[in-house]
Amino acid sequence: MTYQNMTIIITGASSGIGKAVSLALIPYKPKLVIVARRSDKLKETAEELDKANIDFLPIIGDVRNAEDRNKIIDLTLQEFGQIDVLINNAGIGKANLIVEQPEEEIDELLETNVKALIKLTRKTIPIMKKGGGGHIINISSFFALLPVYPFAVYSATKAAVKIFSDCIREEVKDYGISVSTVLPGPYDTGFNAVAGIATGRCLKYDVNSLSKRIVKLIKKPKKNVIQPPIFVLLIKLIRIVPPLKGVITKTIAKMIARERASMKITELRRKNKEKEEITTLTH
């Protein structure tokens, strides 16, 4: 099937990887269904697609909500009549020590990164089966392979995404449905800001290179895609020298701790400055 004949759903399309993949697909002219919670940000993606004369359907919705998941499926079928590719990209990241992490934050990570992904996939599979096949692409994380303790819950959710993908791959292959897992390292997606990490000194790769790889993956399914490619070598090296894993994870954990501390100090200084300004105005 050519890209032009495909209907592709992309969740979390308002920013980061989801937006980058949506825009990277422009030259191939598929039918796109872009989904996100933030209407203002989704509008920005929609405007880019509109300029390029792409046939697309924007849907404002929260994948954690059952009614919104139904809306995504129903509106897609009403508009395009089929679902060929589902890119489960919507997700959040939060850096926190487990003893300090609020239960609400834990619930949010599990609901968004795992339960919503599983439930939307479950609703999509029968439609793909009826249509003779399809491709499910689940966005996990390199932390699924190399978990780091300030991201304990996040790493666990992304490991769950990989395991879920591995399991259903065997279940749905006879229906003509492929299942791929993308395990990206650090990319310039705005993830750090949301996760509560200062962005200045953290290693980040160009998200456009990742989006191009995902576009190729749509046509040529592969079980697991680790990006950037140098991280594949890192995993192989860790298998050869197991103690290296501890060294790397501790180094990353310390770096994240420094960045989080930097953000807290910056925020504290900002608040103190605001207090000083208020005090000055009242005297």
Q: How confident is the model at residue 190 (pLDDT cuts 50, 70, 90)?
A: low
pLDDT score of 254: 78
Report residue 32: phi and psi, to 5°: -110, 140
pLDDT of residue 148: 84
Residue with tokens 């933030």: 38
Residue 101 to residues 41, 157, 215, Cα–Cα distance (Å): 28, 15, 36
Average pLDDT over residues 246-263: 74
Query: Domain boundaries in the chain?
Result: 3-281
Asked whether the beta carbons of 226 and 183 are under 8 A apart, the reply is yes
pLDDT tens digit string along 28-54? 999 999 999 999 999 999 999 999 999
Interatomic CA distance for residues 139 and 213, integer angstroms: 13
Which of these ranges, 63-72, 127-136, 221-230, 239-248, has the smallest mean pLDDT? 239-248
User: What mean pLDDT do residues 124-131 have?
Assistant: 98
Given 3, 149, 154, 205, the catalytic residue: 154
Q: What pLDDT score does 247 carry? A: 84
For this structure, is 187 an active site residue?
no
What are the phi and psi torsion angles at 121 (to 5°)?
-60, -45
257 pLDDT tier (thresholds 50, 70, 90): confident
At residue 269, the pLDDT reads 64
Closest CA to 166 of 175, 154, 178, 174: 178
Amino acid at 95: A
- Structure confidence by residue, pLDDT tens digits, 162-172: 999 999 999 99
Which pLDDT belongs to residue 271? Answer: 59
Second-level CATH architecture of 3-281: 3-Layer(aba) Sandwich (3.40)
With CA atoms as reference, report the closest residue to 2 among 23, 26, 28: 28
Question: Can you give the pTM of this predicted structure?
Answer: 0.87
- Each residue of 191-242: pLDDT tens digit? 555 545 555 555 688 999 999 999 999 999 999 999 999 999 988 998 899 8
Q: What are phi and psi of 138, to 5 degrees?
A: -105, 125
Residues 78-112 pLDDT 10s = 999 999 999 999 999 988 889 989 999 999 999 99
> How much of the chain exceeds pLDDT 90, in percent?
71
